[in-house]
């Protein structure tokens, strides 16, 4: 099952690890990571770099505060720095997790696109919003990859920044020998859902760790064609559930009014399984942006399948700790205003670090360039499959191919991604528009209308697209 071409690097020292965190002012992921690291069998130093130094300094204070909790078993020291090279210098591991102010970017991706008749569900990784996010993010990540090549060329680099497939591809495009892995928890959440279904219908006590699947695709558009619970084949159960009440529920906007946008009913996944014989294995809110039939009909069309749009108002509040349940106010913990309990987040990243340092081998989903692990998808495109992580090595597993209709869907999105990646090499806006134009969401528009949408998005986010040759773009001039 293993693909022969693995990523091999240095075995990470579990007793003296140096982690550089680019985006170390994170308001959500760093608070979870600090807790996971405090409970891990690892020790070392974490350097937090952020363009907002105050946020990095606050998180450094929090990380060191967590280390002083009674339940902490590891030995970590947190440092904040305002210099990227200082953060990267000699690092063993680099974490990438950044985001631009959504009020100046993400909100436009959603609202302008809707004004032009396209009803995004999320707008983060594909479609008009996802492509604009890629255009403003990839140039910066190419610069980061260049600094990694100079400061820590052998480091293990883990990218959590969306759109994961675009961004991870940009890292390799700049530095082909980089040891970069894109990570996402969508497959982890889907395994948890299968564990719950197995527990409910097979009278077993299943946990996420008991579920093994053959996962393949691209980030947020992964599929499985095998699933087991502690050795028991789950495919008969999946086929049964797809045809009974579990897989055939419908919803109204009123049903979802009080639900979180992250709520996942799996009705899109069941429908695609019935049509194509393979089961999508990411959240429905992401799946619909790749399998775009479900976006037709606006809010009612989307809600019918149990999917609630992640709107611009939510994104704006998400940026503000005082407004968002998803954004952690670490100051409230440290000041005693909110109770704090040191506990693991359940993310797989710590298991990866422990395996790379010589601990127990670990199998998890990763995003890496296609070197044969997925059949029918072009070489070097970033694909998502399982991989075996062991001391100094990440080895993707051969996952096979897809039914023809699914392959067509996946490869179409790969063509969009690769076209925009190629355009980013010299900032060719017209070439980027070609990738934009072939996106399935955009194909619902006439070409002139698509050009107007693209131009409006570019104009609204011009300050974040300075690496692109906007002044020489015919698509902008012609609108």
Return the active site residues: 185
As a whole number of Å, the CA-based R_g of the chain is: 22
Q: How far apart are the first and last CA of the chain?
A: 51
In sequence order, which residues have a C-beta less than 8 Å from that of residue 231 and are 6 or more positions away? none
- Give the alpha-carbon dihedral of 167, 169, 174, 177, to 10 degrees: 120
Give CA 124 to chain center in angstroms: 9
DSSP count for the chain of H helices, then E strands: 19, 14
- Contact yes or no for 406/37 (Cβ under 8 A): no
In sequence order, which residues have a C-beta less than 8 Å from that of residue 194 and are 6 or more positions away? 211, 213, 227, 229, 234
Candidates 301, 252, 345, 327; CA nearest to 444 is 301
Candidates 221, 217, 165, 270; CA nearest to 402 is 217
- The DSSP code sequence of 377-393 is S-TTSEEEEEEEEETTE
Between CA 200 and CA 196 the distance in angstroms is: 6
Candidates 209, 210, 247, 215; CA nearest to 232 is 210
- The DSSP code sequence of 413-449 is HHHHHHHHHHHHTTT-HHHHHHHHHTSTTGGGS-HHH
Quickly tell me which residue has 């902008």 as its tokens.
Answer: 476
Between CA 103 and CA 421 the distance in angstroms is: 25
Between CA 135 and CA 7 the distance in angstroms is: 27
- Contact yes or no for 84/144 (Cβ under 8 A): yes
Rounded (5°) CA angle 381-170-122: 80
């Amino acid at each position: 099952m293993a693909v022969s071409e693995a990523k091999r690097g240095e075995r990470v020292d579990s007793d003296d690890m140096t982690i550089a965190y680019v985006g170390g002012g994170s308001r959500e992921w760093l608070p979870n990571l600090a807790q996971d690291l405090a409970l891990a069998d690892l020790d070392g130093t974490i350097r937090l770099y952020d363009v907002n130094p105050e946020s990095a300094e606050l998180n450094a204070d929090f990380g060191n505060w967590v280390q002083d909790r009674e339940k902490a078993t590891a030995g970590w020291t947190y440092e904040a720095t305002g210099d990227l090279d200082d953060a990267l210098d000699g690092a063993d591991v680099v974490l990438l997790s950044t985001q631009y102010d959504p009020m100046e970017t993400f909100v436009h991706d959603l609202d302008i696109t809707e004004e032009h008749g396209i009803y995004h569900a999320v707008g983060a990784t594909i479609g008009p919003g996802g492509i604009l996010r890629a255009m403003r993010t990839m140039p910066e990540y190419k610069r980061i990859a260049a600094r990694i090549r100079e400061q820590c060329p052998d480091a293990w680099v883990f990218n959590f920044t969306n759109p994961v497939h675009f961004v991870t591809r940009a890292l390799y495009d700049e530095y082909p020998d980089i040891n970069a892995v894109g990570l996402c928890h969508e497959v982890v959440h889907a395994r948890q859902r299968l564990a719950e279904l197995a527990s409910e219908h097979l009278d077993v006590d299943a946990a996420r760790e008991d579920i093994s699947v053959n996962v393949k695709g691209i980030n947020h558009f992964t599929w499985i064609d095998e699933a087991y619970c502690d050795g028991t084949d789950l495919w008969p159960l999946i086929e049964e559930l797809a045809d009974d009440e579990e897989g055939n529920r419908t919803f109204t906007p009123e049903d979802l009014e009080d639900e979180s946008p992250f709520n996942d009913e799996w009705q899109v996944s069941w429908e695609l399984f019935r049509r194509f014989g393979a089961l999508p294995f990411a959240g429905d809110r992401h799946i619909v942006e790749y399998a775009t039939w479900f976006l037709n009909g606006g809010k009612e069309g989307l809600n019918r399948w149990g999917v609630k749009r992640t709107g611009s108002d939510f994104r704006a509040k998400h940026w503000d700790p005082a407004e968002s349940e998803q954004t952690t106010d670490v100051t409230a913990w440290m000041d005693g205003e909110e109770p704090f309990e040191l506990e693991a987040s359940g993310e797989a990243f710590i298991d990866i670090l422990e395996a790379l340092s010589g601990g127990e081998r670990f199998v998890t989903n990763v995003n890496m360039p296609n070197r044969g692990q997925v059949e029918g998808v072009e070489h070097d495109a970033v694909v998502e499959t399982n991989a075996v992580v062991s001391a100094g090595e990440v080895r993707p597993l051969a996952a096979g191919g897809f039914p023809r209709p699914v392959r067509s869907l996946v490869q179409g999105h790969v063509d969009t991604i690769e076209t925009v990646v190629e355009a980013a090499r010299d900032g060719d806006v017209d070439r980027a528009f070609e990738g934009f134009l072939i996106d399935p969401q955009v194909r619902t528009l006439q070409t002139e209308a698509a050009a107007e949408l693209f131009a409006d998005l570019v104009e609204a986010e011009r300050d974040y697209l300075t690496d692109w040759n906007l002044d020489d773009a015919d698509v902008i001039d012609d609108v």
